A and B are shown apart, each in its own frame.
Chain A
Amino acid sequence: MSTSTTADFRTRLQDWLPKVVLAPSFAVILLFVYGFIAFTVVLSFTGSKMLPKFDFIGFTNYAKLFALQHWTTAVVNLAIFATLYIAISMAVGLMLAIFLDQKIRGEGLLRPLYLYPMALSFIVTGTAWKWFLDPGIGLEKTMHLWGWESFHFTWIKDSDMAIYTIVIAAVWQTSGFVMAMFLAGLRGIDNEILKAAQIDGASNWQLYRRIVIPMLRPAFLSAFVILFHLAIKSYDLVVALTGGGPGRATELPATFMYSYTFTRNQMGIGASSAVIMLMTIAAIMVPYLYSELKEKP
């Protein structure tokens, strides 16, 4: 009798164990992720300045936020940066992937060279490019030394052009990774389909435009989602490359949020900018994850 009850107990323990094991991490994620999101949302509706206060003021912070020139600059910069960054990274990545897929000699040597920037911190990337783009010591000076006196490349000091230097550095960092995603997609395409199309007389260009690129749809989608996500949370790169300057020329929502919350003591406005960032990312991620979840059994 006693043996059967211990066996029962052990079975029941086995049934409970997975839940017991998951419970602490579940609680932590509920609190630290979902609880804190809720807290930030609540803060964004309060008049908190340096410390959180719970005097609800409705949408005042959001109205103030969108009236701020500083925020408008950050949003416009993000629009410019995200569009160019995503478009150029995908174009460069796709081109390199297609070219590398032409039975290239030395592919094993080239691929790691395209990919290594992805291993680096955005701080490292920013520092390297900051130096390289500095007109006084970097590329411009070298061109002058080589006799090209009229060469001017002062974007990093120019408030109208500085945002494009962020694009250059960000593309350098991630386009190789996009290449790897497309290359994996290309290698996954059934060769028989391509052969059949060739026999039907399709030129190489037609082959890629009509058949291969449409078949890369999943790779396009994941590359887009990843790049979009990286663009919105871009913070380190701006800090290292331009520090948000010259002036405020390269502020992005992430740097805006940081300065309003931590250095300007405008917590309510900082929180509302964080909520806007969350909603922008959610607009892309929620439908994407939802479709991914539905596809998988």
Chain B
Amino acid sequence: MTVQLKTAQNPRGPRPRRILNPTRLMIYGVLIVAALYYIMPLWVMVMTSLKGMPEIRLGNIFSPPMEVTFEAWGKAWNTACTGLQCEGLKVGFWNSVQITVPSVVISIIIASVSGYALSFWKFKGSETYFTILIFGSFIPYQVMLFPLVMICRELGIYGTLSAVILVHTIFGMPILTLLFRNYFASLPEELFKAARVDGAGFWGIFFKVLVPMSTPIFVVAVILQVTGIWNDFLFGVVFAGTKNWPMTVQLNNIVNATQGVKEYNLNMAATILTGLVPLTIYFISGKLFVRGIAAGAVKG
């Protein structure tokens, strides 16, 4: 068919393609301009963070530094003021780690088992539960925010790391359970039946058959949760308490500090540092990243 198209003298047919006709040039032009738009803020941030303050005041934002200095990075990490303390972003970094790791691990364990139970061990009411989960997963957090504060106060954990971990774990569960349930539901049922005939029980099938063959979905779940929790601001600012503020909250405090001279290089270094963890995950995980983000996008 294509051969015919190329040889036909029909004037309505597509023009023979040159390597760079005007249309292709236009397409490449648009794509490159778009790439510049996306890359520009990152470029400006990196360049600014490597300059000294006098150079920032004089020069333009796009130019590379005449004199590269990592001073701002060190300050942002070690001595920047995040409210009353001036111990830098490292405090926020470790808080974020302490919040993210347990929330991710616990929510994935619970959700993977729940998803497995919902897909392979259907019982009366399991579909109803599934529907309840789906509708529960997209509710905006603002709706639950105040009652959450109350219950955390009652439990005596308001303003501690446990409160943020609890909240992240609970609100990660619905969407993760859906993710696992849909993945397990797509696996052939014979697999499950064969394992049962061989005498494997509920846990046996899960750990010996399903978990070993489900690495991709676990990776997607980790991406979804780590980026979601690391980038969270609302729960951190409400539940963690001043001492335990995650990195995003501390970054916002550094940048919006009203006292003293604004050190733009320090602000930019702090911004990059805060974005570094999710960016690293993004660049090493490739295609699975999009799946993780897509699954998490409608989370409250």
A binds B: yes
On A, residues with C-beta under 8 Å from B are: 10, 14-15, 17-19, 21-22, 25-26, 28-30, 32-37, 39-40, 43, 52, 92, 95-96, 99-100, 102, 104, 110, 112-125, 127-132, 137-139, 141-142, 145-146, 172, 176-177, 180-181, 195, 198-199, 201, 204, 225-226, 229-230, 232-233, 235-236, 239-240, 243, 254, 257-258, 261-262, 267, 270-271, 274-275, 277-278, 281, 285-286, 289, 293
A21, B114: Cβ atoms closer than 8 Å? yes
Known: A113-B38, A116-B42, A235-B234. 10 other contacts (CB 8 A): A17-B201, A28-B173, A32-B170, A32-B171, A110-B35, A113-B39, A120-B278, A127-B267, A129-B41, A131-B45
> Which applies to chain A's interface (DSSP): helix, strand, loop or mixed?
helix
| Assembled-state Cα–Cα distance A230/B45 (Å) | 25
| Assembled-state Cα–Cα distance A240/B131 (Å) | 35
Q: Which residues of A contact B48 (CB under 8 A)?
A: 131
A116, B279: Cβ atoms closer than 8 Å? yes
User: Which residue from A26, A95, A270, A293 sits with its C-beta under 8 Å from B129?
Assistant: A26
Q: How many A-B residue pairs have CB under 8 A?
A: 250
Shortest Cβ distance from residue B240 to the other chain A in the assembled complex, whole angstroms: 14
B293 interface residue per 8 A CB criterion: yes
A119, B234: Cβ atoms closer than 8 Å? no
User: Which residue from B5, B118, B297 sits with its C-beta under 8 Å from A229?
Assistant: B297
Q: Which of B42, B45, B60, B133 has most A Cβ within 10 Å?
A: B60
B142, A277: Cβ atoms closer than 8 Å? yes
B136, A33: Cβ atoms closer than 8 Å? yes
Q: Which residues of B contact A28 (CB under 8 A)?
A: 170, 173
| Assembled-state Cα–Cα distance A25/B108 (Å) | 12
Shortest Cβ distance from residue A232 to the other chain B in the assembled complex, whole angstroms: 6
Residue of A nearest to B271 (CB): A127
Shortest Cβ distance from residue B265 to the other chain A in the assembled complex, whole angstroms: 11
| Assembled-state Cα–Cα distance A100/B117 (Å) | 41
Q: Which residues of B contact A104 (CB under 8 A)?
A: 27-28, 31
